[in-house]
Amino acid sequence: MRLDKFLKISRLIKRRTVANKVCDSARVFINGNPAKPAKTVHVGDILKIEYSNFAKSYKIVKIPEKNILAQEAPELYEVMPDTF
């Protein structure tokens, strides 16, 4: 699944167009490397999103086949502990 679509379906970013802009501005990393919106995500990848004043890391646990309910979105990833 494409990174921008995963970000939208998992509700980490609200809209796919916003996910594209965030990826294009090099604020999303997969396994430590900057990721473009078309990058394919896999189970086990570590996803890091840099927000304006902090960063969050997530481990991808499951890739959905199609759109899912909002209640099921947190099952797609695990929040990683912050490391400084």
Q: Is 41 left (phi over 0), alpha (psi -120 to 50) or beta?
A: beta
pLDDT by 10-residue block (mean), the chain, 84 residues = 94 94 94 95 95 91 92 93 67
Q: Is 0.85 topped by the overall pTM? A: yes
Place of tokens 């990833």: 77
The CATH classification number of 3-79 equals: 3.10.290.10
Q: Where are the beta strands (DSSP E) in 1-84?
A: 28-30, 33-34, 46-50, 55-60, 77-79
Which has the closest alpha carbon to 60: 17, 14, 18, 9?
9
Residue-range domain boundaries for the chain: 3-79
Ramachandran angles phi, psi of 34, nearest 5°:
-55, 140
